[in-house]
Amino acid sequence: MTAKTVRAFASGLLMAGGICGIAYVVDTGSAEELENEATDENVHSDSDDEHINEQLTEDGYSLDDMTSELINEGYLVRTEEEWQTILDELDESHEEELNELRDRISELEDQDENSDGASVIYRTILTVTPGMTSIDVGQALERANIIDRAMDFFDEVEDQGLANSLKPGTYEVDSEMSLSEVISEIF
């Protein structure tokens, strides 16, 4: 490229930038006016509805025509006030449901506290096969709800030095038995 070509290109860019700047400055005033009109339109009143109806009528459409057309197309048409009423009713109904659930929970807790102390007793028949460890037995007892934690069972077996005394067989145990009773039954 020659210097003359570069200067011509640069002056073209400079001129285009200037034109864009002028257009921006001139158009900024109208953009601010539109923004002000938009914020003014957010404050909605009956006179605004009449103004909208007048404008739509001038354009060949009425608010009623557009509403009926939307309804015919399967849309629900609600005013802002109607929507707010619906939302308020939903909030109230959810609040009522939440209160009902809280009351039900309180009732169940009261029933639990007033129960005569009867608890569920779990019974199982445990089959110890060759190769099982005390950890495997503890996990099987935990799954059957006989003991709370398998590791407690394993630790107690280790403390008593019975880890190598596990013999294959079938044993009946229940959740009323203490941990020591379960260990003595199996080992």
- CATH number of residue 142's parent domain: 3.30.1490.480
Does 128 share its domain with 180? yes
179: in domain: yes
Q: Which domain holds residue 139?
A: 123-186
Kindly state whether residues 174 and 145 are assigned to the same domain.
yes
Number of domains comprising the chain: 2
Cβ atoms of residues 173 and 180 within 8 Å = no
Residue 66 contacts by C-beta under 8 Å, 6 or more apart in sequence?
A: 56
Residues 181 and 136 in one domain: yes
- What is the SS3 assignment for 125? strand
Say if residue 135 is in the same domain as residue 105.
Answer: no
Residue 134 and residue 98 share a domain = no
pLDDT of residue 50: 67
pLDDT at 62: 78
Tell which of 65, 83, 113 closes a domain: 113
Quick one: 109 and 127 in the same domain? no
Rounded CA gap, 160 and 133, in Å?
A: 15
pLDDT in tens, the chain (187 residues): 788 888 888 899 999 988 888 887 777 655 556 566 656 555 555 566 666 666 655 666 777 888 888 889 999 888 889 888 888 888 877 888 888 888 888 888 777 666 655 577 889 899 999 888 989 999 999 999 989 899 999 999 999 888 888 888 999 999 889 888 998 888 8
Nearest-5° Cα angle at 186, 181 to 187: 95
Domain boundary among 93, 113, 133: 113
The counts of H helices and E strands in the chain are 7, 2
Asked whether residue 29 is domain-assigned, the answer is no
In a domain, 49, yes or no: no
* Pairwise CA distance, residues 9 & 3, whole Å: 10
